Amino acid sequence: MKKTFLKVVVVLLTAVMTMSCSKDGAMGPQGNAGLDGINGTNGMNGINGNANVLGSNSFSTITTNWASSGGGVIWTANLTGASSITQNIVDKGIVSVFRMYTVNGATQWAPLPDTNINQNLSFSYGVGTISFLMQSTNGVAIANPGAITLRYVVISPSNRMANPNTDWNDYNQVKAVLHLQD
């Protein structure tokens, strides 16, 4: 009797499951429309829809950008209008700056801070601005730095967390991870 009862239960469950899985009912009503998203900002976004990365085109300083103090031992220049550097980036993100060198006809990018012979080039940043500091490493006055080709990359907190093993001072790693174009 138990076996017959068990067989009947299995047959009934199979029949109920088969009927409940069929698609013969009418479509339900359409749901409400969702809210519009927030408009993006203008800037150089990374490719492949990576809106959490903003990379500048390369740019160059010129002689008139630099101001001397300390008798030519220290030079400063400011880049303003870096609108991709927001308070959120200052608080939780990263800004990496790279200096371009041409070696044997090939372009190479070195992260700042960068020391070359007796000169050290470093930077600091705030909302909308990057400040550059060129200083003598031996206390001897240096000439106006003039033209230096640079590029900065702004990394959001979410992209930073999504790529925890990235060396943000290695231009080739940054370029590969964030899909940047030269």
Among residues 76, 82, 81, the alpha carbon closest in space to that of 64 is found at 76
pTM of the model: 0.65
Q: Are 74 and 68 in contact (CB under 8 A)?
A: yes
pLDDT digits (tens, 9 = 90+) for 6-58: 454 444 444 444 444 445 556 656 645 433 332 333 333 332 333 445 667 78
Bridge partners for 158 per DSSP: none
How many CA atoms, within 13 angstroms, populate the side-chain half-sphere of residue 60? 9
Among residues 89, 102, 61, 88, the alpha carbon closest in space to that of 153 is found at 89
pLDDT digits (tens, 9 = 90+) for 102-115: 989 998 999 999 99
